[in-house]
A and B are shown apart, each in its own frame.
Chain A
Amino acid sequence: MTPTVPASDWYSIAPLSIVAVAALVVLLADLLAPKSVNRYVAIAIGAVGLIVAGIDAAYAFHSNYAAFGGAFIVGGFSVVFQEIILIAALGSLVLYGANGAAERIGGTVALMLWSTSGAMLMAGAGNLMTIFLGLELLSLGLYCLCGLADRPTARESALKYLILSSMASGFLVYGMALLFGASGSVALADLTNPGLISNPLFWCGAGLFLVGISFKLSLVPFHAWAPDVYEGAPLPVTAYMSVVTKAATLAVLARFIYAALPTTIASEMLLPVWIVAAVSMIVGNVGMLAQHDLKRLIAYSGIAQVGYILTALAGGTALGMRYAIYYLAAYTFMNLGAFAVAALLSGEREEGTRLANYRGLAGRRPVVAAMMTFFLLAMAGLPPTAGFLGKVLILATSVSAGYAWLGATLIVGTAISLYAYAKVIRAMYARDEHAHPHDVRAVAPLAWISAVACCIIVIAMTFYPLTPSNVLPLVR
């Protein structure tokens, strides 16, 4: 006898199904469309799929529904993360319009869409199996995407990502197996059972699980892969990875922290996570100082920014969750904006991410330099950007939740990062008559639009800090 699945369960996964189906349509269209326009066809279909999925997902914002016996939970939390993932995917897709390799565009877009549906699955995952399913769906697409560029570093990037990420998955799945052994169930809801506290299997399982998650979030000391992988991957893929994987993994971690631990021991059990966050804030920002490539710089910056987001989650307060989401959204737009500006300086074969190319940029292209300055200042947390307000909110919530030491670490980390970001800004504004770097001028209206849109959104978020209220993660 097969259990019947009600139709509403299928509706609840409609957004990610739409994205997955859009990928198939892209592949079909790629076969049929003439070569001259296939780039635009693929991107247009992908963009429409993402937007439709976004609209469909938004309808579920006020719902609270556990589909497939609690395997997939729809609610404010999952919807907000899905929207962030969809926006990031759309932003990265648009960058392909600017300077992706034209010949493989159909497959590339399809892979990116499938990865996106995996990330969306993680955002709503309510049991260990769904988490793993979503994570692998996300990662498998990315392994291919990383190796797409025609250069040796791309192959290095793909291989490194494959090996290290598989190892992290190994940690994760082994941890899940131990958690299953301890609780006798794959549901996250069964992990809240206080009887588990005395079970060593539970502690080992949770530890391995958190190690796997830290690997995927590239938290120190599991961060070393991120700069190399980011550097080798094509620019749009780097933009995608820097936001989507982090958003999806943070959704899993936030659900685990908030809802899937016995409440009595949550604070002591999570102390290592906060320590890792504090170390990431320092090491990530110090690591930025020595970088000569924008992608590596953003990789290290991302390590620190995830530390900031975890600072908001420390203490497990409802407000903290809202500010973490606020900062994640701000991080999404400033990262996408910075990559869009880099895309303006990139060609199909050559990416304008070497920081040497930015020397004296303000003299040659003042508006591009001004926008890059704006996004770097936003990442550094200077006004008038959402990065500034996000840091204020995180500071306030960490102080009131009793984690003032994390707030102080955030301040120290920010002080270090200011120097690193300002170094790039200084290079752009330096008067250097001798340097004649090779500038690529991409004719990319889409990248312009996305950079300007990110600029406006990052400013608007500062003055209208919307933080939705029903975003507490739930388990069933």
Chain B
Amino acid sequence: MLVLSLVLIPIVAGLGLFLRRGEHPDQSKAFGAFVAAFTFVAAIAARGEEWSFRWLSRPFESSFHFGTTSVSFWIVLLLALCTFCAILATNVPRTASFVAQLLILEGAMMGVFLARDLLAFALFWDLMLLPVFFVLLGWGTHAPTAWRYFIYNFAGGLTLLLATAAFGVLYGSTDVIGRADVHLVGAWVPWIFAGFAFAFLVKTPVWPLHTWMPLTYSDTPAPMVAVVSAVQSKAGLYGLIAIGMAFMPDYFKAYAGIFIVLGVISLLYGAFASLTQSDAKRVVAYSSLSHLGLIVVAIASFNPLALQGAIVYIIAHGLFSAMLFLVLGFVESREDTRSLRRLGGIGAANPKLGGALCIAALAALGLPGLAGFVGEIIILIGLFQAGLLWAVIPALVAIVLASAYMLRLFQGIMNGPNVADLPVRSDLSWIEGLAIAPLVLALVVLGVDPHALTAFDPSAYNTTTSQGVTR
């Protein structure tokens, strides 16, 4: 039941908060943070637990089956942590409704990562898009952004749904996630794989399906975008590992070249685009495109070591991108702008804010000692081992560029002459400090001792063996 409560409690709490009358910003934040903290503790306690409830027996078997897999456990922890930090950092009008949307988003994404059933996965996949859409409608500044997000991602959601239905009809059951003995064969399977892959690549995103992302990331309020970029974008990568690689490895391998090429283009394109942006949030958005491109390459290489690195980097990227967006949110709330041209020289008067951005930027550029470095180096070794030298070199270029754009971001905001025209500003408040402290702690701990994460066993996902039961 504990694992079910991970999904239900945030959704119920969010709905309750949404329907409550009146504005109580501090109460709402405290309540939301408490719920998120509970899910974090409950997720640790629920490791290995499973809960199942029969949903359909015709036309294919399907259950509401929840439980962690070796990959999803860490992403679930990341999700609870990021939601906690994001709720504490919330500083927007109509706080109660916003926190409610964050909680519903958390519950829906818990459903995505905990689902052991494909149909439940697809259900929560669609559900997790709604809070972001509503936040873009209610708090965004630019209506077309919401449409762009909605149309791209729901198109992906629909192909996912069609592929799931076809999977169910072909295999007779969708209660399969986390099982290693399920292999799909047949003339229809490439189409099913294409349906899944389209949804996952849109969500991640990779070039050329990324055009919704910079707009969404810059227009969504910082706490929401922190969760979206840290965790929601990982749903696609998780799907590639837990569904594409697990059930259709032969087809995934056959088309792996396409994924690697798209990943390499994304990581280069993202890095160069990031260098030219003047909007601080877009710098981070394009850097995400670059980092996630690297993870796509790592997954598609089918090398066990690179895959382990991908898991580490999924978590590390979640931590530092959440932190970057939260800190940029703090800057924006003080200066009323995100434009690098109109920012500068904040660091001298605000040492704590400067320090926070510095740590986040260093983690993002892969400084040894922080978690990002561990992921990058394992992925690169793995790619080298797999003989993908032509992918390693662009990856190195992108990593060098990461230093350039992250330092440009930091310097543009914190160093240089003071160009801001707003006289009153304060350094980090204690609650803002509390919001980013867990992320810093996690980045350092995982950077020094990543063994917990690398204990992930890729052979459970059919990377080395390709024999299994088909029916």
> What residue of chain A has the Cβ atom nearest to residue B150's Cβ?
A422
* Interface-side segment among B152-160, B236-244, B367-375: B152-160
CB distance from B105 to the nearest CB of A (A): 14
User: Is B327 in the interface zone, CB < 8 Å from A?
Assistant: no
User: Is B59 in the interface zone, CB < 8 Å from A?
Assistant: yes
- Given A407-B162, A411-B162, A429-B134, decide whether A393 and B59 contact each other with a Cβ distance below 8 A: yes
- Given A383-B126, A388-B123, A430-B137, decide whether A395 and B58 contact each other with a Cβ distance below 8 A: no
- Secondary structure at the A interface, as helix, strand, loop or mixed, is helix
- Given A415-B154, A415-B155, A422-B150, decide whether A465 and B55 contact each other with a Cβ distance below 8 A: yes
User: Is A440 in the interface zone, CB < 8 Å from B?
Assistant: no
Q: What A residues does B143 contact at CB under 8 A?
A: 426, 430
| Cross-chain contact A396 with B150 (CB below 8 angstroms) | no
- Given A366-B19, A422-B150, decide whether A388 and B59 contact each other with a Cβ distance below 8 A: no
* Interface-side segment among B42-50, B164-172, B295-303, B382-390: B164-172
CA distance A396 to B162 in the complex (A): 8
| Cross-chain contact B162 with A400 (CB below 8 angstroms) | no
CB distance from B403 to the nearest CB of A (A): 41
User: Is B461 in the interface zone, CB < 8 Å from A?
Assistant: no
User: Is A189 in the interface zone, CB < 8 Å from B?
Assistant: no
Q: What B residues does A27 contact at CB under 8 A?
A: none
User: Is B64 in the interface zone, CB < 8 Å from A?
Assistant: yes
| Cross-chain contact B127 with A384 (CB below 8 angstroms) | yes
> What residue of chain B has the Cβ atom nearest to residue A467's Cβ?
B58
| Cross-chain contact B162 with A367 (CB below 8 angstroms) | no
CA distance A285 to B65 in the complex (A): 34
A419-430 interface mask toward B, CB cutoff 8 Å, 1 = contact, 0 = none? 100100110011
User: Is B56 in the interface zone, CB < 8 Å from A?
Assistant: yes
CA distance A63 to B151 in the complex (A): 48
A-B contact count, CB below 8 Å? 78
Cross-chain contact of B158 among A319, A415, A465 (Cβ < 8 A): A415
User: Is A305 in the interface zone, CB < 8 Å from B?
Assistant: no
- Given A415-B154, A426-B146, decide whether A319 and B58 contact each other with a Cβ distance below 8 A: yes
CB distance from A384 to the nearest CB of B (A): 6
> What residue of chain A has the Cβ atom nearest to residue B57's Cβ?
A465
| Cross-chain contact B159 with A411 (CB below 8 angstroms) | yes
Q: What A residues does B130 contact at CB under 8 A?
A: 377, 382
User: Is A414 in the interface zone, CB < 8 Å from B?
Assistant: yes
CA distance A408 to B191 in the complex (A): 12
CB distance from B95 to the nearest CB of A (A): 15
Cross-chain contact of A429 among B55, B58, B138, B161 (Cβ < 8 A): B138
| Cross-chain contact B138 with A384 (CB below 8 angstroms) | no
In chain A, positions 423-439 with a C-beta closer than 8 Å to chain B are 425-426, 429-431
CA distance A25 to B119 in the complex (A): 50
| Cross-chain contact A370 with B58 (CB below 8 angstroms) | no
User: Is B73 in the interface zone, CB < 8 Å from A?
Assistant: no
User: Is A295 in the interface zone, CB < 8 Å from B?
Assistant: no
> What residue of chain B has the Cβ atom nearest to residue A323's Cβ?
B59
Q: What B residues does A422 contact at CB under 8 A?
A: 133, 147, 150
User: Is B38 in the interface zone, CB < 8 Å from A?
Assistant: no
A369-407 interface mask toward B, CB cutoff 8 Å, 1 = contact, 0 = none? 010000001000011100010011101110110000001
User: Is A286 in the interface zone, CB < 8 Å from B?
Assistant: no
User: Is A58 in the interface zone, CB < 8 Å from B?
Assistant: no
Q: What A residues does B138 contact at CB under 8 A?
A: 362, 429, 431
- Given A382-B126, A392-B165, A415-B154, decide whether A400 and B59 contact each other with a Cβ distance below 8 A: yes
- Given A366-B19, A408-B162, decide whether A397 and B137 contact each other with a Cβ distance below 8 A: no
| Cross-chain contact B166 with A392 (CB below 8 angstroms) | no
> What residue of chain B has the Cβ atom nearest to residue A407's Cβ?
B162
| Cross-chain contact B164 with A399 (CB below 8 angstroms) | no
Cross-chain contact of A399 among B147, B150, B158, B166 (Cβ < 8 A): B166
CB distance from B317 to the nearest CB of A (A): 28
User: Is B259 in the interface zone, CB < 8 Å from A?
Assistant: no
User: Is B98 in the interface zone, CB < 8 Å from A?
Assistant: no
| Cross-chain contact B18 with A392 (CB below 8 angstroms) | no
Q: What B residues does A463 contact at CB under 8 A?
A: 55, 64
CA distance A425 to B147 in the complex (A): 12
CA distance A425 to B131 in the complex (A): 13
CB distance from A211 to the nearest CB of B (A): 32
User: Is A418 in the interface zone, CB < 8 Å from B?
Assistant: yes
- Given A396-B168, A397-B59, A426-B146, decide whether A414 and B124 contact each other with a Cβ distance below 8 A: no
Q: What B residues does A415 contact at CB under 8 A?
A: 154-155, 158
Q: What A residues does B165 contact at CB under 8 A?
A: 392, 395-396, 399, 407
Cross-chain contact of A388 among B126, B155, B166, B168 (Cβ < 8 A): B126
| Cross-chain contact A396 with B55 (CB below 8 angstroms) | no
| Cross-chain contact B162 with A395 (CB below 8 angstroms) | yes
Q: What A residues does B18 contact at CB under 8 A?
A: 366, 370
Q: What B residues does A370 contact at CB under 8 A?
A: 18-19
CB distance from B148 to the nearest CB of A (A): 12
CB distance from B341 to the nearest CB of A (A): 28
Cross-chain contact of A411 among B151, B158, B169 (Cβ < 8 A): B158
- Given A400-B169, A415-B154, A431-B138, decide whether A383 and B162 contact each other with a Cβ distance below 8 A: no
| Cross-chain contact B150 with A418 (CB below 8 angstroms) | yes
CA distance A213 to B206 in the complex (A): 48
User: Is B31 in the interface zone, CB < 8 Å from A?
Assistant: no
Q: What B residues does A367 contact at CB under 8 A?
A: 19
Q: What A residues does B127 contact at CB under 8 A?
A: 382-384
> What residue of chain A has the Cβ atom nearest to residue B128's Cβ?
A383
| Cross-chain contact A414 with B158 (CB below 8 angstroms) | yes
- Given A319-B59, A370-B18, decide whether A392 and B150 contact each other with a Cβ distance below 8 A: no
CB distance from A383 to the nearest CB of B (A): 4
CA distance A298 to B60 in the complex (A): 32
> What residue of chain B has the Cβ atom nearest to residue A430's Cβ?
B137
Q: What A residues does B154 contact at CB under 8 A?
A: 415, 418
Q: What B residues does A366 contact at CB under 8 A?
A: 18-19
Q: What A residues does B146 contact at CB under 8 A?
A: 426
CB distance from A373 to the nearest CB of B (A): 9
| Cross-chain contact B161 with A395 (CB below 8 angstroms) | yes
CB distance from B107 to the nearest CB of A (A): 11
CA distance A131 to B143 in the complex (A): 51
CA distance A431 to B166 in the complex (A): 41
| Cross-chain contact A384 with B123 (CB below 8 angstroms) | yes
CB distance from A430 to the nearest CB of B (A): 7
CA distance A429 to B140 in the complex (A): 11
Q: What A residues does B55 contact at CB under 8 A?
A: 463, 465
Indicate the member of B124, B127, B147, B165 with the most A CB atoms within 10 Å: B165
7 additional A-B pairs beyond A362-B138, A377-B130, beta carbons within 8 Å, are A383-B127, A399-B166, A399-B169, A407-B162, A407-B165, A425-B137, A463-B64
Contacts A/B (CB < 8 Å), 15 sampled: A319-B59, A388-B126, A392-B161, A395-B166, A396-B166, A396-B168, A400-B59, A408-B162, A411-B158, A411-B161, A414-B158, A418-B150, A418-B154, A422-B147, A430-B143
Q: CB within 8 Å of B: which residues of A?
A: 319, 362, 366-367, 370, 377, 382-384, 388, 391-393, 395-397, 399-400, 407-408, 411, 414-415, 418-419, 422, 425-426, 429-431, 463, 465, 467
Q: CB within 8 Å of A: which residues of B?
A: 18-19, 55-56, 58-60, 64, 119, 122-124, 126-127, 130, 133-134, 137-138, 143, 146-147, 150-151, 154-155, 158-159, 161-162, 164-166, 168-169
| Top 6 A-B pairs, shortest CB-CB distance | A395-B165, A383-B123, A396-B59, A396-B165, A429-B137, A400-B169
